[in-house]
Amino acid sequence: MGNAAALDVDDYLDYFVDDEHTRVACLFLETVRRPDRLAAAAARMRAAGKPVVALRVGRTAMGAAASAAHTGSLASSHAAASEFFRQAGIVVVEDLDELVEACAAFNMLRRAPTSHGLGVINISGGEVALTCDLAQELRIELPALDGATREALRATLPGFATPANPLDATSAALSDTGIYEQAVQALLADPGIGLVAVSQDCPAGLSEGAAHGYRRLAEVTARVARTAAKPLVFYSNVAGPLHPVTIAPLQDGDVPVLQGARPSLIAIRAYLDWHRWQLPGGKAATGCRVHPAWRSRLASGKALTENEAKRFLQDHGIRTTREIPAATAEAAMRAAGEIGFPVVLKVDSADIPHKSEVGGVRLALRNAQAVEGAFGEILSSVRRHRPEAAVQGVVVQEMVTGGVEMIIGSAQHPPFGRGIVVGAGGVLVELMQDSAFALAPLGAPEARALVGRTRASALLDGYRGSPAADREALEAVVVRLAEIAEAYADVIEAIDLNPVAVLPKGQGACVLDALIVPRTLHNLRT
């Protein structure tokens, strides 16, 4: 469709919905111009039982630049695009091999999986181990076999075989295909398995003897599939041309023959996920009341200091640290006495969003003398690193200890709307690279799922004897931030709460640092 000057992708999907020859739509996308219309078209495709599989390029900075040069469209955030596709029920793949194999699986398979579990059978112990490695990496569920399945396999397989999933049926299956057929049937009968994959190499370079031997396994697969209540997939671990003798029995049935272990497993995962997908809940109505004074302040486009950002959050129901601005060392000492030691001192400047990078933070100050010394050290360091910055003095802040440090943020992601990110927080946030992303608005269930997608969720639940953190309080902040982002969408470009101290269960969550970036003519263009 070229640069979509006349028709866009949603127009084509609307045509495919009613086209009797179309079973699955395969999209190669450089940009999404009309997300609402694309989501609606994808919903109509799903209602017709026709999956939509998408490969979106421009996911990296270099790829985005190349795509923009070609299409004339600005690339959107990869995370936002992926989340949009997920919410729309569109299958996302990462390269052309995955795209081809996923479309082949969706085009051939006729039966829905009965669960999200995958059962795999092979005759090579080494390739069984490869399957285990890839399944863990790709987050594919390989359920343990239930007792009845293990007993059936013990009665069928040689004594040296191990009844497990993935299953090594051993080379004995080549000489006695009855063993193989009973093993496949046993996997299909397991209640935890929704789809069975036959993993068998059959590259074009096989000897004629090997090709005919493996053909017998393909014949078993085709025969079992004709009466099976669950879907079967046949895949070769090696990508490339397949031996025609081996795969001939599968050519006329509804068993897809896939190529390459990784693309094949990704295609199978996509098929399982597509059948498990559920329509997201309706858009939650925002419970955030817009404060006219704050809206006017943000509309000015002038950067907010941290203290201003925290007052904004407090006025909108989010707990932050107790703090007092101080223009002089004497005022800082008085403020520290009022708050109570220990305290934290931070430079007070809207020009310095990342204070620790310029020596603008001092922690755990336990007396007035320490506060006085820290005041001078902070101003001296800031003048050295950022002499042009406008500095109002410092902010004296209560010292919050304990809990798990998290980050919660919101930013505009045209054309998909506002995104919410949650992850491990603190000064090591970029190093840790642990975050999860969703599009606003969010309700409590979506916030719970979002937090659960981070590795830091294990820390929140109590790790190696540490107390469980107040996860519910964190989730409430996530929901509230999403509501704020929606309510102030026209005047706020981004919000960054980092860190948020998630205190022990029952003690809540407290924002320790905050950055709010107003929308301006500059960031509206970029």
The predicted-structure confidence for 1-36, as pLDDT tens digits, reads as follows 555 656 889 999 999 999 999 999 999 998 898 999
Same domain, 121 and 269: yes
**3-state class (DSSP) for residue 150:** helix
pLDDT category of residue 283 using cuts at 50, 70 and 90: low
Q: What is the DSSP string of 319-355?
A: -B--EEEESSHHHHHHHHHHH-SSEEEEEE-TT-S-G
Same domain, 224 and 131: yes
Residue 124 lies in a domain: yes
Q: pLDDT digit string (tens) for 51-81? A: 999 999 876 665 554 444 433 333 447 888 8
Same domain, 447 and 500: yes
Residue 305 lies in a domain: no
Same domain, 514 and 490: yes
The overall average pLDDT reported for the chain is 91
Same domain, 45 and 175: no
Residue 22 lies in a domain: yes
Q: Which of 367, 383, 398 is the last residue of a domain?
A: 398
Q: Which of 276, 300, 334 is the last residue of a domain?
A: 276
Same domain, 123 and 268: yes
pLDDT value at 179 more than 50: yes
Same domain, 261 and 123: yes
Q: What are phi and psi of 417, to 5 degrees?
A: 105, -150
What CATH number did the domain enclosing 251 receive? 3.40.50.261
The DSSP code for 47 is: H
Same domain, 460 and 497: yes
Q: Which domain holds residue 520?
A: 404-525
Which residues lie below 8 Å from residue 412, measured CB to CB, with a gap of 6+? 418, 419, 489, 493, 494, 519, 523
Residue 295 lies in a domain: no
Residue 44 lies in a domain: yes
What CATH number did the domain enclosing 428 receive? 3.30.470.20
Q: pLDDT digit string (tens) for 80-126? A: 888 999 989 999 999 999 999 999 999 999 999 999 999 999 999 99
pLDDT value at 276 more than 70: yes
Residue 290 lies in a domain: no
> What's the predicted TM-score (pTM) here?
0.79
Residue 289 lies in a domain: no
Residue 52 lies in a domain: yes
What is the predicted pLDDT for the residue at 396?
97
Q: pLDDT digit string (tens) for 357-389? A: 999 999 999 999 999 999 999 999 999 999 999
Q: Which of 42, 63, 94 is the last residue of a domain?
A: 94
What is the predicted pLDDT for the residue at 4?
60
The amino acid occupying position 521 is L
Same domain, 118 and 257: yes
Same domain, 368 and 455: no
Same domain, 129 and 154: yes
Same domain, 271 and 335: no
Residue 516: strand pairing partners: 495
- The total of structural domains in the chain comes to 4
